[in-house]
């Protein structure tokens, strides 16, 4: 799952759960900062287990590059 945050960061990880306040827990999470200028690729920062407060979430989407089942590709 890919979560974009209000500060421009993107978190990619495995969706574990959510709660009433729309907080999201991701496992095996990697953090990507704001996109760099040009075609430079950014190295992710490994976070592991991460809780994202619901009020900081801009969008949530499925990260298709992480899908292992070819049926969904």
pLDDT, tens digit (0-9, with 9 covering 90-100), for 9-65 = 999 999 999 999 999 999 999 999 976 455 667 789 999 999 999 999 999 999 776
Q: HSE on the CB side for 11, CA within 13 Å? A: 26
Q: State residue 16's pLDDT score.
A: 97
* CATH number for the domain formed by residue range(s) 2-66: 2.30.30.100
Helix (H, G, I), strand (E, B) or coil at 52: strand
Q: HSE on the CB side for 68, CA within 13 Å? A: 1
Tell me the pLDDT band of 68, cut-offs 50, 70 and 90: low
Question: What does the domain layout of the chain look like in residue ranges?
Answer: 2-66
Would you tell me how many other CB atoms lie within 10 Å of the CB of residue 52? 20
Its pTM stands at 0.79
């Amino acid at each position: 799952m890919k979560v974009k945050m209000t500060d421009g960061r993107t978190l990619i990880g495995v969706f574990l759960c959510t709660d009433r306040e729309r907080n999201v827990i991701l496992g095996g999470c990697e953090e990507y900062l704001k996109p760099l200028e040009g075609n430079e690729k950014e190295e992710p920062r490994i976070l592991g287990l991460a809780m994202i407060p619901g009020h900081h979430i801009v969008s949530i989407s499925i990260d298709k590059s992480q899908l292992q089942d070819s049926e969904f590709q």
